[in-house]
Amino acid sequence: EIVLTQSPGTLSLSPGERATLSCRASQSVSSDYVAWYQHKPGQAPRLLIYGASNRDTGIPGRFSASGSGTDFTLTISRLEPEDFAVYYCQQGAGSPVGFTFGPGTRVDIK
Amino acid sequence: QVHLQESGPGLVKPSETLSLTCTVSGASINSYYWGWIRQPPGKGLEWIGYIYYSGRTNYNASLRSRVTISVDTSKRQFSLKLLSVTATDTAVYFCARVPAVTDRDYWYFDLWGRGTLVTVSS
């Protein structure tokens, strides 16, 4: 089973700052099956990135992502007030494809 | 606009069966995969399983012995049954869509319901 580790667990930043979130897999995964989500309490998780680096429709350009193999990164270039949330990475693997989520990174207002 | 809505009992007794339904509106269920994910209080997301409209399923290995996901295309609904629940099954349960058809597609959840809290307690 592939395990995802996200770091840091919590990121305390001010609006306007840059956020860099890391997701590491216990073994190499296909970039086609890597996604990032934003989750706020009481809301549905929101897809940000699929295929490791593709922004979903309507996602602002300040969100970008990259990575391959075991290391993936989500970057928020300049934090807006609405960006403070928990961010999860997800990977898929196997045939049929099975999913795993990382434990999440909380982005807090400093 | 595509909308997913979970429904079902909010309270289930230990050892009983948790049953939830997800209703899809604004889109056909006759394509793609449809899945369930849960989030225990204070914890992260856990994938439960998914179903293709044709009935093909795949489940998280840790839950496979207790989970069944089914689909009713005529009602545009898919359902989750989790047997022999315990307090550790207390969670917010989300339904979601996987916009993939083959292993060569991207695999991710693009549309989610708002989730429904299910508490396991006597």
CB pairs under 8 A between A and B: 72
Q: Name residue A15's amino acid.
A: P
Min distance A77 CA to chain B CA atoms (Å): 23
Give the tens place of pLDDT for each residue, B47-91.
999 999 999 999 999 999 999 999 999 999 999 999 999 999 999
Q: Name residue A103's amino acid.
A: P
Q: Which chain A residues are closer than 8 Å to B106 by Cβ?
A: 32-33, 35, 50-51, 54
CB distance B80 to B53 below 8 Å: no
Q: Which chain B residues are closer than 8 Å to A97 by Cβ?
A: 58, 100, 103, 107
Average per-residue pLDDT in chain B?
95
CB distance A31 to A51 below 8 Å: yes
- pLDDT for res B99: 92
Phi, psi of A53 (to 5 degrees): -145, 5
Min distance B44 CA to chain A CA atoms (Å): 5
Tokens found for residue B74: 């005529």
